[in-house]
C-alpha cells in the first residue's frame, strides 16, 4: 500500500432524508434530575405506567429520516476505499458515510455490475444512436454511408451480417420451441445484443478524435479525463444543474460548497506499478463532455483497484432530452472495460424512487446485502416478475438474513399494516430512552459487539496534533470499556466495527 489512510471519527448522526424529506423524531429524553425522586419502588415515574412506554420505544427505533455513521478522511488509500465500498460506504468530498439502512426511511443499497458482462437493452442502444445522430448530423451520416458503399470491405461485412441473421433465425426457432415446451408465449424476436467491441464502437462513434474527416460533423464532441480540480467553468455548470434539476437556491451554490462536494477528495492520484495494472489510473477524476468547445456535462469518478465508481453526474439542462444519465453510464462502463477495472459501481439504488429506476436497467447488476456485506443478483432483491417479495414487499430487505427484513405499507393495498418491529422492541427490553452505543441501534453490516470486545483496539495508530502514538498510550485507555459512554475506547470500537477492523487497524486515527 503506497498511501496510509488518515481518518477522524465523526460519529452517528440523524437528519432529514434528501429523497423523501422525512426527519427523525427525537427519541424520548431521560428524566430530569428533579424527576428522579418521583419514582415508585419499581423505578417508574409516579403517575405513569413506565418511564418510557412502548409507543416511545417504537418512535425511537422505527425508521424515519436518514441515519448514518460518518468519518472524515484527510487521506484514503484506494485499496481501503475499495474495501469500504464493499461494506456499503460512499463519500461526499472528504466525508465518508455508511447509512443505517434498517433505521432509515429510504434504505440505500450499493449497486454494481461486472463491466464485461453488461447486457445492453433497446433503450440503451436507442439513447446512444439518438445522441450520435445529433452530434454527427444527417449530412455527415449520409456522406459516410456513400463512402462506405464504395469500400470493398463492405461486401464482406454484409456477407457476415447475412450469416448472423441466419444464425439468429435458428436461435429464434430454438427459443420458440423452448417456450412451447414450457407452456409459455412464443417470442416474436430475439433482442439484439452488442458485443463488448460493438458497444465501445457505438459509445466512441461520435467522438471527434475517432472520426475520419472530411466531411465535418454537425458538432465537435470531445471527451477528456482530468484530475478533479476546480475551474469556474465547472462551477457554473454545477450551479445551473443544482438550481434547474434539484431546485436549490442559487445563493447556496458557492465556490466552496462545490469544491467540498465534487473537487476535494482524500484519494491520491496514482498509477499502477505492477505487471497486472501497470499504467492504470487511480484516484478521483472529472470526465468532461464538450460540444463545440463548450462544457455540457461532467462525471465525477473514483478509479479504484477493482472498479470505476460513479460519484456524481451533472449536465446542462439544454440536453435533458438526450437522457444524459444513461449516456454517461454506458460511457463509464466502457471506461471500466477499456481500463481494466472489473466492476462499475453506480452508487446507491433506492427502491421505489423514480430517480433511481434507471439503475435497475443495467443488467446483470448486483446489490450489496446490508446484513452480510455480500453482493447478490438484483433479482434476489427486486424480482423480475414483479412479484410481491423482496423490496417489493419490504422497506428494508436482506436476502441473507430474511428474518431481519422490515415490512412497509403496500402501496397497492393500504390495508396492509406496518411491521410493529416486535423483534427489535424485544431486543431493547432494557431501553431507557437513549442509545448507549452503536450496537443498540441494530445497525446492519457492522462487526458484532462480541467480536469487537476481542479486538486489540489499543494497537490502533493515533495522531494527536503532531504526536504519533498508539491508543494504549492514552491515559486511562486500558481501563475503559467498549460499552462505556463517551469513552475513547467506545468511539474507536464503533468506528472499527462500521469501517471494518482491517481498515482501521492499518490506518492512523486523528484525535
The 10s digit of each residue's pLDDT in 321-335 is 999 999 999 999 999
State which H helix or E strand residue 366 sits in. strand 365-368
The pLDDT value given to residue 152: 61
**Dist. CA 431–CA 372, nearest whole Å:** 26
The DSSP bridge pattern shows strands 307-315 and 281-291 to be unpaired
Burial annotation 34-45 (CB, 10 A radius, 16+ → b, else e): eeeeeeeeeeee
The DSSP call for residue 415 is: T
**Dist. CA 295–CA 313, nearest whole Å:** 13
pLDDT digits (tens, 9 = 90+) for 453-473: 999 999 999 999 999 999 999
Domain with CATH 3.40.630.30 in the chain: 220-371
State which H helix or E strand residue 15 sits in. strand 6-15
Name the band, by pLDDT with cuts 50, 70 and 90, for residue 436. confident
Asked whether 324 and 297 are in contact (CB, 8 A), the reply is yes
- Residue 345's CB is within 10 A of a number of other CB atoms, namely 26
The pLDDT value given to residue 408: 57
Largest Cα span, the chain: 99
> What's the mean per-residue pLDDT of the chain?
84
* Choice between 427 and 190, residue whose per-residue pLDDT is larger: 190
The answer, yes or no, to whether residue 45 has pLDDT greater than 50, is no
**Dist. CA 341–CA 165, nearest whole Å:** 33
The pLDDT value given to residue 173: 73
Percentage of the chain modeled with pLDDT above 70: 77
Which range, of 174-183, 200-209, 368-377, 411-420, averages the lowest pLDDT?
411-420
Give burial (CB, 10 Å; 0-12/13-18/19+) of 271. Answer: exposed
Which range, of 24-38, 318-332, 366-380, averages the lowest pLDDT?
24-38
Q: What is the mean pLDDT of residues 279-302?
A: 98
Task: Identify the residue whose cell numbers are 456524481.
Answer: 312
**Dist. CA 318–CA 479, nearest whole Å:** 62
Give burial (CB, 10 Å; 0-12/13-18/19+) of 169. Answer: exposed
* Choice between 479 and 429, residue whose per-residue pLDDT is larger: 479
**Dist. CA 240–CA 242, nearest whole Å:** 6
State the cell numbers at 66.
436518514
The answer, yes or no, to whether residue 32 has pLDDT greater than 80, is no
| Closest to 144 (Cα-Cα) out of 154, 157, 129 | 154
Task: Identify the residue whose cell numbers are 494497537.
Answer: 459
* Choice between 221 and 422, residue whose per-residue pLDDT is larger: 221
In three-state secondary structure terms, 201 is: helix
pLDDT digits (tens, 9 = 90+) for 340-363: 999 999 999 999 888 888 899 999
The pLDDT value given to residue 24: 57
Asked whether 61 and 428 are in contact (CB, 8 A), the reply is yes
Which range, of 209-213, 309-313, 385-389, averages the lowest pLDDT?
385-389
Alpha helices in 361-487 (DSSP H): 422-427, 449-452
* Choice between 189 and 209, residue whose per-residue pLDDT is larger: 209
The answer, yes or no, to whether residue 364 has pLDDT greater than 70, is yes
**Dist. CA 418–CA 59, nearest whole Å:** 13
State the cell numbers at 59.
418512535
pLDDT digits (tens, 9 = 90+) for 188-199: 665 555 556 789
Q: What is the mean pLDDT of residues 261-272?
A: 96
The answer, yes or no, to whether residue 150 has pLDDT greater than 80, is no
In three-state secondary structure terms, 185 is: coil
**What is the distance, to the nearest Å, from the Cα of residue 181 to the centroid of all Cα atoms in its chain?**
41
The conformational region for residue 137 under phi > 0 = left, psi -120 to 50 = alpha, else beta, is left
| Closest to 499 (Cα-Cα) out of 110, 3, 94, 86 | 86
State the cell numbers at 433.
430512552
State the cell numbers at 46.
409516579
Percentage of the chain modeled with pLDDT above 90: 64
**Dist. CA 107–CA 96, nearest whole Å:** 17
CATH T-level topology, domain 220-371? Aminopeptidase (3.40.630)
The pLDDT value given to residue 187: 65
The answer, yes or no, to whether residue 60 has pLDDT greater than 60, is no
The pLDDT value given to residue 42: 38
Burial annotation 14-26 (CB, 10 A radius, 16+ → b, else e): beebebeebebee
Asked whether 47 and 274 are in contact (CB, 8 A), the reply is no
The pLDDT value given to residue 132: 97
Asked whether 510 and 8 are in contact (CB, 8 A), the reply is yes
Q: What is the mean pLDDT of residues 46-70?
A: 52
Amino acid at each position: 500500500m503506497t498511501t496510509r489512510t488518515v481518518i477522524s471519527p465523526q460519529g452517528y448522526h440523524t437528519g432529514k432524508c434528501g429523497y423523501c424529506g422525512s426527519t427523525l423524531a427525537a427519541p424520548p429524553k431521560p428524566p430530569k434530575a428533579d424527576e428522579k425522586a418521583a419514582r415508585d419502588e419499581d423505578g417508574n415515574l409516579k403517575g405513569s405506567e413506565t418511564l418510557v412506554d412502548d409507543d416511545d420505544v417504537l418512535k425511537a427505533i422505527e425508521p424515519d429520516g436518514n441515519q448514518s455513521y460518518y468519518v472524515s478522511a484527510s487521506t484514503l488509500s484506494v485499496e481501503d476505499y475499495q474495501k469500504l465500498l464493499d461494506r456499503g460506504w460512499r463519500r461526499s468530498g472528504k466525508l465518508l458515510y455508511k447509512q443505517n439502512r434498517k433505521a432509515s426511511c429510504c434504505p440505500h443499497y450499493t449497486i454494481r455490475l461486472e463491466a464485461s458482462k453488461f447486457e445492453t437493452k433497446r433503450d440503451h442502444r436507442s439513447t446512444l444512436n439518438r445522441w450520435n445522430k445529433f452530434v454527427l448530423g444527417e449530412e455527415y451520416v449520409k456522406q459516410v454511408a456513400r463512402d462506405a458503399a464504395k469500400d470493398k470491405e463492405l461486401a464482406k461485412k454484409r456477407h457476415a451480417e447475412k450469416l448472423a441473421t441466419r444464425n439468429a433465425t435458428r436461435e429464434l426457432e430454438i427459443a420458440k420451441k423452448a417456450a412451447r415446451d414450457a407452456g409459455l408465449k412464443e417470442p416474436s424476436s430475439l433482442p439484439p445484443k452488442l458485443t463488448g467491441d460493438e458497444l465501445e464502437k457505438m459509445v466512441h462513434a461520435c467522438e471527434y478524435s475517432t472520426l475520419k474527416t472530411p466531411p465535418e460533423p454537425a458538432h465537435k464532441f470531445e471527451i477528456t479525463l482530468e484530475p478533479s480540480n476546480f475551474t469556474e467553468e465547472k462551477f457554473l455548470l454545477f450551479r445551473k444543474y443544482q438550481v434547474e434539476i434539484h431546485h436549490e437556491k442559487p445563493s447556496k451554490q458557492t465556490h466552496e460548497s462545490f469544491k467540498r462536494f465534487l473537487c476535494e477528495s482524500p484519494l491520491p492520484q496514482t498509477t499502477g506499478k505492477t505487471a497486472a495494472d501497470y499504467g492504470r489510473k487511480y484516484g478521483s477524476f472529472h470526465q468532461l463532455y464538450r460540444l463545440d468547445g463548450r462544457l455540457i456535462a461532467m462525471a465525477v469518478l473514483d478509479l479504484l483497484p477493482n472498479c470505476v465508481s460513479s460519484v456524481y453526474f451533472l449536465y446542462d439542462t439544454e440536453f435533458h432530452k438526450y437522457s444524459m444519465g444513461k449516456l454517461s453510464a454506458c460511457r463509464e462502463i466502457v471506461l471500466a472495460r477499456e481500463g481494466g477495472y472489473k466492476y462499475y459501481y453506480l452508487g446507491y439504488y433506492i427502491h421505489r424512487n423514480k430517480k433511481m429506476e434507471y439503475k435497475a436497467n443495467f443488467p446483470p447488476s448486483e446489490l450489496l446485502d446490508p446484513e452480510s456485506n455480500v453482493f447478490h443478483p438484483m433479482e434476489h432483491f427486486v424480482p423480475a416478475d414483479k412479484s410481491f417479495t423482496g423490496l417489493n414487499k419490504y422497506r428494508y430487505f436482506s436476502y441473507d438474513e430474511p428474518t431481519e427484513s422490515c415490512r412497509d405499507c403496500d402501496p397497492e393495498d393500504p390495508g396492509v399494516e406496518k411491521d410493529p418491529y416486535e423483534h427489535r422492541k424485544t431486543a431493547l427490553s432494557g431501553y431507557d430512552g437513549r442509545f448507549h452505543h452503536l450496537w443498540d441501534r441494530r445497525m446492519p453490516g457492522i462487526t458484532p459487539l462480541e467480536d469487537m470486545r476481542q479486538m486489540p483496539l489499543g494497537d490502533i495508530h493515533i495522531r494527536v496534533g503532531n504526536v504519533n502514538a498508539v491508543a494504549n498510550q492514552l491515559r486511562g485507555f486500558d481501563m475503559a470499556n467498549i460499552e462505556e459512554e463517551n469513552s475513547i475506547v467506545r468511539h474507536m470500537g464503533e468506528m472499527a466495527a462500521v469501517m471494518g477492523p482491517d481498515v482501521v487497524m492499518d490506518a492512523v486515527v486523528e484525535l
